[in-house]
Amino acid sequence: MVHKKYSYVVLAFLLFIRLVCFLIDFYIPILDFLIYGSFFLVFLLFFSKKELVRNYHRDLTKTVLIITIGYFILYYFLGVVVGFTYNIYHTSFFGILSNLFFLMVPLLFREEIRKRFILLYKNKMALVFVTIVFIICEVLGSTFFFFQTNEEFFSQVVSVLLPIVIENILLSFLAYIGIQSTIFAYFVPMLISRYFIPIVVDLDWFYRLLLQLGVTLVIYFFLTNEYLWQVRRIYSKRTDKKNSFLYTIFCFCVLSFGLFVAGVFVYQPVAVLTYSMVPTFTRGDAVIVKKLDSSEKMELKKGDIIQYQYNNQIVVLHRIIDSYQLDGERVFVLKGDNNDSADSNVVHMDQILGKVTFFIPKIGYPSVWLSEFLYPDREVEVEVGR
């Protein structure tokens, strides 16, 4: 076996090849197969090291497989709620063969390289190095750099970059503590769902990212606290079970908070972007809005602060100062507490999104800054009390 220190050079050369292909804009469908296949053979021939397989590895693999199955049950259950859409990858017979050869097999070669490299060292430096290399390689081969505006950049970060980072961190972690079957218990079902299933759940980037982060946290916490006590021998079995329960509750809370922010529940947080409602609340505060059904909208009265959609683009948080019948429909006149005049247009029932119940000072500033970054030129036509 060649001295293992040269494996760093080999991985660095792999990264260099991917970078050159990216810079000269060279791509053919078989490129990943050739690159990862060739470097897999290099590791197989020159950097092979026999892995010590212990009894607990079977438990690790079983745990990962159970969590992955649970993830897909939740994933497709959400599809029943939000709907399905066609997979962007071809899932005909020849499409499946193409996906298998050009997409799935190269990724399996990559994971073999990752596993063999980590096995050579079994330290954090190797873990971080191989993770960074494969993150960069995957980003270079993705659609991440196809953006022109701040909004498109943000979309690429959350829909392309973050999923790549999260998945590679998880795969390196599985390679570090498990064996080949531990990695594949997670990765193979994910690849099958990604490339071979004709329909996928019609989720936007936020929910997909939230689910991926959730399954990653669950796998990490369960593996480190339910089974790795057999390796570390630090905590008792009872303590590990208690910690696993606490981590499960933590993951559930993170998932619930993400769904709350996304507006899945009746109540939803909304950041205040302007000064139009001073002194009731101001820019940077976060208000909690209760979604209203048709009957609850009819019960709205003067003095209520509501959220309504303006011009199909933005939402406004203003107070009701009057209402009357217009062509047989009840409409509302709204005004910001800090504005000199009422909003120029009346608000119809179908524009109303919810009613403000209370507010929390200052915690909405991250959303304010993000909105200004994404939409630096957006002009709000209603009075904003500036």
Range scoring the smallest mean pLDDT among 143-157, 165-179, 235-249, 325-339: 235-249
pLDDT value at residue 1: 58
What CATH homologous superfamily does 267-374 map to?
Umud Fragment, subunit A (2.10.109.10)
Give the β-pairing of 199-201 and 267-271.
Answer: unpaired
Burial (CB count within 10 angstroms: exposed 0-12, middle 13-18, buried 19+), residue 380: middle
DSSP 51-104: ----THHHHHHHHHHHHHHHHHHHHHHHHHHH-EEE-SS--SHHHHHHHIIIII
Question: Closest Cα to residue 348, out of 298, 288, 289, 291?
Answer: 298
CA–CA dist 206, 364 (Å, integer): 18
Token pair belonging to 369? 């800054």
Q: Is the pTM for the entire model greater than 0.75?
A: no
Asked, as a colleague might, if the bond just before 106 is cis with ω within 30 of 0, I would say: no
* Average pLDDT estimate for 308-315: 80
pLDDT of 79: 81
Contact predicate 278/385, CB 8 Å: yes
pLDDT, average across residues 280-307: 90
More confident site: 132 or 254: 132
342 within 8 A of 265, measured Cβ to Cβ: no
Task: For residues 7 and 43, give the distance between their C-alpha atoms in angstroms, rounded to a whole number.
Answer: 8
Q: Are 129 and 178 in contact (CB under 8 A)?
A: no
Q: Are 221 and 137 in contact (CB under 8 A)?
A: no
Percent of the chain with pLDDT over 90: 41
| Residue position matching structure tokens 């769902």 | 193
CB 221 within 8 A of CB 248: yes
Domain boundary assignment for the chain = 6-198, 267-374
Q: What pLDDT is recorded for position 237?
A: 46
List the single range of 81-90, 205-214, 250-259 with lowest mean pLDDT.
250-259
CA torsion sign for 290, 296, 302, 307 is: positive
Per the CB < 8 A criterion, the answer to whether 54 and 181 are in contact is no
Using an 8 Å Cβ cutoff, are 374 and 332 in contact? no
